[in-house]
Every structure is written in C-alpha cells, then in structure tokens.
Structure 1
Amino acid sequence: MTHPRTVSTSRGPAADLADPAFWKLPPAQRLARFAELRQEPRPVFFTERRAGRRRPEQGFYALVRHADVLKASRLPRVFASAPGATSPEPAGWVRVLFGDSMVNLDGADHTRLRRIVQQAFTPRLLAATEASIQELAVRIVDDMVAERPDEFVSAVAGRMSFEVICAMLGVPDAYRHRIARQIDRASEHAGVRRGLVARLKSPGKGLRALARMELTVARLGRERRRRPTGDLISALVSADVEGQRLTYRQLGSFFSLLLVAGVETTRNAIAHALALLTDNPDQLALLLSDFERYADGAVDEIVRHSTPIIQFRRTVVARYTMAGHTFLPGDKVMLLYASANRDATVFEDPDAFSITRDPNPHLGYGGGGPHFCLGAHLARLEIKAVLRELLTRPLAVRALGEPELGTSNFDHRVRKQHFAFDVTKP
C-alpha cells in the first residue's frame, strides 16, 4: 500500500536535498530552499541515489518546520534513532565491529547507557571542568596575542574545544596530537555521499582512525580502572547503574562520539561567532557595552544562526500522522535543525543576527527528548569563555573574508577562517 507524499520533482542541485551538489551551494542558497520547503503543505520526499541509480523506495522526508522537528525529536517511540541517526547510516558490519554509538540507540538500551554516562558527570568533575574552561580560554588567547597567527580555527576555536574535552576525559598530553589527527580523519567525510571509487577507498582511512581512537581509549580505560585519577574516563569505567558498567567497546564508542561531536560542534560555533560578530558591528558593540549582561543571549544566537549540526536522521517505527502526512513504519526522515532555526513562525526576522533575541527556542542542541545534547551546558561555557577573552582585551580581532566551509549535509563545518588584529579598540 502506498501513501500520499509530496515528491521533489526537480533534478537540479538548487532544489534537491538528496543531491550532493546541493550541499556545495552557498549557505544563503540552501537556506532559501529550506524557506521554500517550509511553505509546502506537507513534508517533501527526496529520492537518494544508490550506485548511480534511483530507486523510489530509497529516500527521506525532510522535516523543515520548527514545530515538526521539535515534535519528532520528542517522539522516539515513533521516530527512532536506530539503525542510524547520522547520514549515511552505519553499515551493519561497522556496528558489529565498533558497537552502537549512543546517538544511534533507542529505548532501554539508550536509557541504560545514558544513565551510566550521566552518573559519571559528577558535580566535582563538572566544577573542575568549568574552572579549567576559563583558565584554558585565557591561555589560548594569551598565546594568540603573543604569536599573532592568521587562521582562527586552528589557533583558537579548534584548540579550545579539543583541549577542554581532552582535559575532562583525562587524555595525557602524549596522546593528544595523535588523537587530533584521528578525529580529523574520522570526521572528514561525515555526511558526504561520495562516488563509488571514493566510497571504496575511504572506509579504510576513516575507520582506521576510528579504530585507533577506540584502541587508545580502551588502553586508557584499563589503566584508569586499575588507577583512577578523577577524570571522566576514570568515572566512566567505574560507573555502575543497576550492576551495569560500560564495556571497553562502549567506552570507545562514547569516547569517539564525545571527541568528534564535542570537538567539531563547539569548534564550529566559536569559528562562526567571529564571523558573525565581525559582520554585525552593531551587535558586537552591544556585547562589548556590557559583556556579562549580553553574553548568554549572544551564545544562544550564535548557535541558532550558525546551527553547527545541520540535521539528524530518524526511522519511523509506528504509523503516525503529522504535518499533513501519514508516516509509515520504515520511512526515513531528516530533522533539519538548520531550517527549523530560521522558521519565521517562531523567530521574528529569522535571518537577522540579534543577541537580544527573546525568546530564542533554537534547536541547536537538538529538540529535547532523550537525545538532547549531554554537553550543551559545557559547550555554552566554552563559547562564552572564548568570547570573554577575545572581546575584553585591548587588542581586537576580526574575521577576514568568508569562512572556508566543509561540504557536508551533517555539520556546518568551518575548515578555515582567516583573521586579523586591530591595533586598539575605539
């Protein structure tokens, strides 16, 4: 039995969210397409290519309105993360070899694993992490002022997010350079659907990096189980919820998720922040006029406007009618946070960057529900700490030119952002 659906009939990249070329378009063009889709009476279905052919049964419905993304995020009994929330979905053999990431689990399996992880985030650990975030921001900006680099992601944004995660986990300095390379290799093609030759060549590169990261954390986990040191890895290998502990494979999977997701998303938000404040001098002046008053609003608006994670996938597991359409088990949907965060029915003048926007119910950390980002609080602290140090020094910085963006339908990645120093502030 079939069911009615709105199908994308255009084959051009400017309209087809399933076409890799769409994700190479400038962000403004992609946002314009999302705005068109929000005017459709029901979700649009996009057919995905497979090995050079189009099979009508393979594709996804795009959820683009704020209300629809929010509802689907909070209905895991209908919109499930398994078998994979990322795009493309992990192959079965990859899941067997590496285990299921928490982001791809539902129900009791997800609840049990998340409870173990939450137990490890003790008040003492969080307090120590919050203190180290500000200290690290000071040190990074001190180094920036002394060394005068010209590329912001590597000098500030990437370093901040990576070192916070490593410090919280307790990753020794000797491991960090190697792990940083492995993160880049493992996440290089996230959300990119490539041609057949690239798909055959690349698993090796990304999966080898992932395997090495998981071997590293398994080694650290064994050491911390013998000799705990008060860091997150020690807490994770010691956490016990109803007799359940993380296996080393689960620990490795969570470690990979935290490193790739925590580092990538916060790095990108900080990088976008510099460009947004440079391009909106009135908002920068307002923030400088009373940093502590406006900083929290600025952080939320940076996350809304840049939306570091563009989308997550869900699989429909129960018949459900929403947004004028009846979804059936087996249907795939794409929750487009980047579109939901520009929904004019929720956000007045949604394309404007306004640090006093209130309310600001953005979905930058997900739409709530069981998969709401565990690290949202720490991410906000990191962004705020970096902004405080960048903006309250006598030496001002500004972005130069447009950021160099990655090609991905998964995250709004900034590869490079050149910047310059102004001699003094006015």
Structure 2
Amino acid sequence: MTARIATREDRRVVRRAHTTGYLALSSINALGDAVRVPGVGLVVNDAALIRQILLDDVHFAKVGPGGSSELWTPVIGGNALLNMDGPAHTQLRRKLGPLFTPRFLSRIVGDILEPELDAFRRQLGEMGRADVVGYAERAAALVICRLTGYPADADAATAQLARARELLRYAKLTTRRFEGATLAAMRAKLSELTTIARSAYREADRETVPGLLRSQGLGEHDAIAVISALVIAGTETIVSFLPRLAQLLITSGHLDRLADDPSGVDAAVNEGLRVTVPSPVMIRAVAEATTVGGRRVRPGDRIILSTVMACNRAGDFDPDRLVPAEMRHLWFGAGAHFCIGMALATLEATTFAATLADIHATTPLRIVSKRYKTRTIAASYQELILECTPS
C-alpha cells in the first residue's frame, strides 16, 4: 500500500508540471500501443516497440523532418550530439568518452558530490531539516560546470541552470520547430550560457568538454554546440530525479530497508528511474517507409516515443521486482543514441540515495513540506523539505 501511495504521489508531480500533456498522453495510452494523433504524430506507448524503433537506424532517425534535429538545430547548431546521426555522431561520442570513464567520474564524486552531501548532512544535523531540491540543484549544476568549463561556484552554477530551464520552457509536445521571435529569444539566452564555455575552449583544459574537444580537432562552433546540448538536456534530468527518488524511498518505506542493508541502493535507483522516467518523451523522424504496431509510416512522419507511459505499465514502485527486459534503461534510450551521461547520472543518484540511507539509519527522515513545479518540461518539486529526528 505504501508503494502505491508513493507512486501515486509521483504521478501527481507529473500532472502538476504539465497537466494537459500528461492527461493527453494518458488518454492516448489507453487507446493502444501505437496511436496516430493529428498535429502530433504517431504516439508509441509500448516499451518493446519503442526499443525496436530506437535500435532501428535504417527506418528511423533523429535528423530530418519530424525529428529532434528540426527542433534544436536552429537553436544550438548542427553538431550537438542530440541532433546527429550516423558516423559523425559515433565519432563525436567517441571523442567525449574520456569524460565519462569510471576513473574520471570517481573524481567528480570526490571533488563535488561528497562535499555537497556533507553540507546537506550538516544542515540536517544543525537545523533538523534540509531541502532536497536545493541540494540537487547545486550538486548537478556544479557537476555540469566542471564538465563544461564554467566557474565552480554554486551561485554561478545555479544561475546557469536557471538559464537552461528558460530554454526548456519553450518546448512542448506539439512543437516541431522554433521560429521568429521565439527562436531569436532562445538564441539570445543561449549566448549568455556559452560565453564562458568559449573561454574554456580557448584555454584548452582537457578535463572540460570544450578543452577536450579542442584537443581532438573539433572547431569552436561545434564544441559550443555540444556544450549547449549538455547544459540544456543533461542538468535538468538529474535535478528533477533526485527529489522524486527521495519521495519514493521515504513514502514507500523502502528507505528503512536501505538503512539496514545499503546493498539494495542500485536496485532502488534503477526502479526509481523506471517509475519517474526522466526522459518522458523522445522524438524520431521516419527515414524509410515501414510499419509500427501495424500502422504504416512514411518519410516525413513524426514518431513520439512515450517512454513515460510505456515504463509506467510495469506498475508501482517495487525495487524487489526485476525491471522487464524491454524496459531496461529505456529512460536513457537504446542503440546508437543511448544516453552518454547514464553513468554520471546513475552515480549521482546512487551516491545520494546511499547518503539518505546512512542518515536514516541513525536519524530517521520524513517529508514535512513540499511544493510542486508547474509549467516545466522536467516534472519535479519546487521544494522538498526533509526533517530528521533522533531515533
């Protein structure tokens, strides 16, 4: 019962963030696995079908009419990883690889996450309460600043995060491309984000994305496009997930078990990702005519992959249940475009969850206050206050 309550609370978080879109996807989900929606595209709600599409780079693409490239290329440029296909995409991923190795990521934990978690723990000890959202925003923003070359300052980092959120607010399920005044406004906001990254590129620090890409022969324009994509798409994902994970663990009572046996942290985080689905929707263009769930699709058609509805079909939060094979890591994609930042996001989440369990073992945690985010593409809490009491 507590798991159901926790899951229903998470659904409430999503509904408050984008009521119309969530209700629309829920209604479409009830109509079948693949549903054609005028003005939107073919909406796919089945995990196996979604995985099949993501693995098929012959019939489906990110680049082309109806694809995500049509949406983001005018804003950030053509070589930003999230709007690329083929050999160029593969080559760029390979160049970014050194920034996502276990050795480098362990340094991220030591330099950024552990100090932030220590501060979070101290605040709980001294004040008796702390805001998970505030921690998540600072930590994730500092990590992305480390990667992209921004100054490692909490205030400056969260300011960059706020600018990235402003860009995300322009994107809606029905948006196929940004044009006119909207496009001009987005480019202006993006220029504020990239000024410091250009300096990092010129300084050639190989422990930042711009410096690494420069060392491997990528021009400044393309390097800045990659950085823009990381800031826009990468940061908000983990910021939205951590408070929702905390809610699931505490409300379901599963944090009690993790406090007794921390070895279950990985399974709990994985199930938390399955329930929350940080990337609730993905977009693909049809490159060659084929069928999806028995429906014909042709070049120019737009495919909406409703990962949130597909993964929600497995039921309530339950870390003891194996995630169905067709859903495994689906929130990070599949195939050539599988999220390059998965290892980093998972490491941030497991480090956070392990700390919560450790605190809970001596001073039980409970949620005492919460406020929901509204009108945002990344559903989460505006505030989630935890209180600890001596056991």
| TM bin (shorter chain) | 0.7 to 0.9
Q: How many Å apart are 1:275 and its aligned residue?
A: 1.7
Q: Does the 8 A contact of 1:78 with 1:320 survive in 2? A: yes
Tell whether 2:371 aligns with 1:423: no
- The aligned runs of 1:360-379 (5 Å cut-off) are 360=324, 361-379=327-345
Residue 101 of structure 1 pairs with residue 73 of structure 2: no
Aligned pairs, how many?
Answer: 368
CA change 1:229–1:75 in 2 (3 A) is: closer
Following the alignment from structure 2 to structure 1, what is the Cα–Cα distance between the partners of residues 69 and 366?
36
Instruction: Find out whether 1:44 has 2:35 as its counterpart.
Output: yes
SS in 2 for 1:166: helix
What is the letter of the counterpart of residue 387 of structure 1? A
Unaligned runs of 5+ in 1: 1-19, 49-58, 240-244
Deviations 1:8-42 (A, max 9, x none): xxxxxxxxxxxx99941596x567435413xx2x6
TM-score, normalization: structure 2? Answer: 0.82
In structure 2, list runs of 5 or more residues that go unmatched. Answer: 1-14
User: What is the CA-CA distance between 1:84 and the residue it aligns to?
Assistant: 7.5
CA distance in 1: counterparts of 2:66 and 2:152, whole angstroms: 32
Give yes or no for the alignment of 1:357 onto 2:321: yes
Aligned partner (choices 176, 197, 211) of residue 191 of structure 2: 211
1:414 is matched with 380
**Shift in Å, 1:276:** 1.3
Deviation at 1:263, TM superposition (A): 1.1
On the 8 A contact 1:84/1:314 being kept in 2, the answer is: no
The within-5 A match list for 1:178-193 is 178-191=159-172
CA contact (8 A) 2:146 2:152 kept: no
Q: Match of 1:266?
A: 238
Q: Which secondary structure does the structure 2 equivalent of 1:99 belong to? A: coil
Q: Report the equivalent of 1:255.
A: 227
Q: Which has the larger radius of gyration?
A: 1
Residue 138 (str. 1) matches residue 142 (str. 2):
no
For the aligned residues, what is the CA RMSD?
Answer: 3.2
Distance 1:132 1:364 in 2: 30
Aligned mate of 1:301, from 264, 268, 271:
271
- Greater RCO (CA < 8 Å, at least 6 residues apart): 2
Aligned partner of 1:404 among 368, 372, 378: 372
Q: Is 1:288 matched with 2:259?
A: yes
Matching residue's letter, 1:355: P
Displacement of 1:304 in angstroms is 0.5
The 1:191/1:301 distance shift into structure 2, 3 A limit, reads same
Which letter does structure 1 place at the counterpart of 2:367?
A
Q: Residues 86, 327 of structure 1: CA spacing in aligned structure 2 closer, same or farther, 3 A cutoff?
A: closer
Superposition pairs of residues 328-367 of structure 1, within 5 angstroms: 328-343=298-313, 347=314, 350=315, 352-360=316-324, 361-367=327-333
Letter paired with 1:313 = I
One of 371, 376, 380 as aligned partner of 2:346: 380
Amino acid at match of 1:238: S
Cα deviation digits, residues 310-359 of structure 1 (max 9, x gap): 1111110101123112211111110111012123xxx3xx1x11112214
2:128 and 2:388 in contact (8 A); partners too: no
In 2, the alpha carbon distance for the partners of 1:230 and 1:85 equals: 35
Tell me what 1:24 maps to. Answer: 19
Matching residue's letter, 2:192: R
